[in-house]
Amino acid sequence: MSPVKLDQHFLIDENILGKIVEAAQIKPDDIILEIGSGKGILTGELAKRAGKVIAIEIDEEFKPFLDKMPQNVEVKYGNALDLIDKINFNKIVANIPYNITEPLFGKLLKKRVETVVLLIGKNFYNILMGKDSKWPVIMPIFFDITKVADVPNWFFEPMPRTDSVVVMLKKRQLELTLAEQVIKEFVLQDDKKVFNALAEAFVRAEKLTQKQAKEKVFEQNLPPALLDKKVAYLSNRQFMAISGKIK
């Protein structure tokens, strides 16, 4: 087998593996999506408990390992970010490649998913729980976030440069404030320009007419260049400037 490729780090600590599986609270009727199955160590544990496991692996060199999985495991080879929108599941449990963490979180906002248990880099976890990024604003609107375990880098083979954290995301239970509803609707329209997305967010969240919503957008006193930018391409600073105006 060829050398391990960039961003492939395999969890070798059984205790952490057990905590990941336990946090997912797997039931016999669950359909679990696993991203980055590698040699199938976590895959096999999930398969013992779930009705079905859909394992995505980008590297077909792991096929000899994944071919030995139980019958309730379906393996798909390819990029998870391309495949995730075509798959039906109710939970995600995975040790994901660090380089897809942020785009995957963006995908999760639009998925109907009960529970997500992910092993992510500590650097991104610190961003998620900090104050200087859009993610601490966005994610708590959609999910309740719990740290399950800290994972030092020597628990992996090969050893990554950073430590990791197991996080659990569950659909938010508390009712949203009006401002949170506006931000949620705004974020979900990331294919639109800021002006149109914000106007539509006011329509949906505050039940305004289109005319009233557009007037309210102008009342935010945002720069014209910012209003003309696509939501998906906003920098953290630009997003924070917009969300800070929404009261």
How are beta strands 156-157 and 10-11 bridged, if at all?
Answer: antiparallel
Listed range (4-13, 186-195, 225-234) with the worst mean pLDDT: 4-13
- Output the pLDDT for position 247: 72
**217-242: average pLDDT:** 96
- Output the pLDDT for position 1: 35
pLDDT tens, residue by residue, 11-62: 999 999 999 999 999 999 999 999 999 999 999 999 999 999 999 999 999 9
Angle at alpha carbon of residue 125, lines to 31 and 191, rounded to 5°: 70
Q: How would residue 7 be classed by pLDDT, with cut points 50, 70 and 90?
A: low
Q: How would residue 5 be classed by pLDDT, with cut points 50, 70 and 90?
A: very low
- Output the pLDDT for position 183: 98
> Span 10-171: which CATH code?
3.40.50.150
pLDDT tens, residue by residue, 89-140: 999 999 999 899 999 999 999 999 999 999 999 999 999 999 889 999 999 9
- Output the pLDDT for position 4: 39
- Rounded CA-CA distance 106/143 in Å is 12
pLDDT tens, residue by residue, 179-216: 999 999 999 999 999 999 999 999 999 999 999 999 99
6, pLDDT greater than 50: no
**132-151: average pLDDT:** 96
Range(s) of the chain covered by CATH 3.40.50.150: 10-171
- Output the pLDDT for position 3: 37
CA distance to 5, 125, 127, 213, 246, per residue, from 133 (Å)? 30, 11, 7, 26, 16
Q: Would you say 29 and 96 are in contact if contact means Cβ atoms under 8 Å apart?
A: no
pLDDT tens, residue by residue, 79-91: 999 999 999 999 9
pLDDT tens, residue by residue, 59-68: 999 999 999 9
- Rounded CA-CA distance 113/33 in Å is 10
- Output the pLDDT for position 2: 36
- What is the torsional sign of CA 140, 142, 148, 152? negative
- Output the pLDDT for position 9: 82
